[in-house]
Amino acid sequence: MTAVPSPSLTGLVDSHCHLDRLKLDAYGGDFDALMAATAAAGVSHMLCIGVDLASFPQVRQLAECWPQVFASVGVHPLYRNAEAATLMELKTLSAHPKVVAIGETGLDYLDDPVDAKEQQQRFATHILAARETGLPLIVHTRGAREDTLAMLREYGGGKVRGVLHCFTEDLATAEAAIKLGFYISISGIVTFRNADALRDVVRALPLERLLIETDSPWLAPVPYRGKQNEPRFVSEVAQAVAALQGISPAELASATRKNFFRLFIKACEWQADHCAAAKRRPCHSDG
């Protein structure tokens, strides 16, 4: 089995991962073993992200079966062939007690800017769903910073909070998003050799608006480049961000955990109501 990172950090939260997309070869096909390794690495909670309606039932099931896992519902902007989600569908599916956010949604013009109008229509629907449900919005944006911010202002109407995930934009974009009530989530990209510009941004960001993530199974941080990314590797992100912020990794872990539960209020409420149930054996492993 793959070596587990040092468990020197505890209470880590991976604010953005795709558990349903992970390959389990290193664990002999045993999802329980992967989750055990994740816990051993100090990761206490994860947010499993929905990227289309077809795979959402699996994402929801993972959240139902594992007390440390929460879920979101949405359609990723690059899933062009996926069924578009209606406002009613997003509102209905997000009523589940473990679904704590709307998304992943947003705009991505880097690969194919031709379909920008369709992306914008889908993004608008997600923003309205977040506004009407009161849930945070998980935003993916690449090559579309101006349109992303403009649409958040127009459709959010000052009533939508959320997070710009896997952030790689400039400081001005981050500051504009923060003014709109958004958090900034940093992934393993911050450890990449060519990420000096991102590291400069992270140094300048306010700690109270920072989250950390893996975006696993993609974007494994140094020293795991070339391997499948996993939630347990969020410890590497925490250490890198802590160094840039000039604080200890433990302080960074504590702050980002508090930020996570401050933003995802529904997760905080569920955690408070089910702290006893969180100690039970995961349901999918029960006989």
* Residue whose C-alpha is closest to residue 89's, from 113, 73, 72, 70: 73
Portion of the chain with pLDDT greater than 90, in percent: 89
pLDDT tens for 252-286 read 999 999 999 999 999 999 988 876 454 544 443 33
Question: What pLDDT sits at residue 275?
Answer: 65
pLDDT tens for 208-233 read 999 999 999 999 999 999 999 999 99
Question: What pLDDT sits at residue 169?
Answer: 96
At residue 113, does pLDDT exceed 90? no
Average pLDDT over residues 72-82: 94
pLDDT tens for 62-72 read 999 999 999 99
Q: How far apart are CA 250 and CA 241, in angstroms?
A: 11
The single-letter code of the amino acid at 199 is R
Question: What pLDDT sits at residue 2?
Answer: 45
Per-residue confidence at 7, pLDDT binned at 50, 70, 90?
low
pLDDT tens for 185-215 read 999 999 999 999 999 999 999 999 999 999 9
Question: What pLDDT sits at residue 272?
Answer: 87
Give all strands of the β-sheet with 12-17 in edge-to-edge order. Answer: 12-17, 43-48, 69-73, 99-108, 137-142, 162-164, 182-186, 210-212
Q: How far apart are CA 128 and CA 26, in angstroms?
A: 41
Question: What pLDDT sits at residue 6?
Answer: 45
Show contacts of 173-179: CB within 8 Å, 24+ apart. Answer: 173/145, 173/149, 174/201, 174/205, 176/149, 177/149, 177/152, 178/206, 178/209
Portion of the chain with pLDDT greater than 70, in percent: 92
Is CATH 3.20.20.140 the classification given to domain 21-275? Answer: yes
Average pLDDT over residues 145-156: 98
Selected residue with higher pLDDT from 140 and 282: 140
The domain spans of the chain are 21-275
Q: Mean pLDDT of all residues in the chain? A: 93
Which three-class secondary structure state does DSSP give residue 235? helix
Per-residue confidence at 4, pLDDT binned at 50, 70, 90?
very low
pLDDT tens for 10-41 read 999 999 999 999 999 999 999 999 999 999 99
| C-alpha to C-alpha distances, 72 to 33, 195, 263, nearest whole angstrom | 24, 28, 13
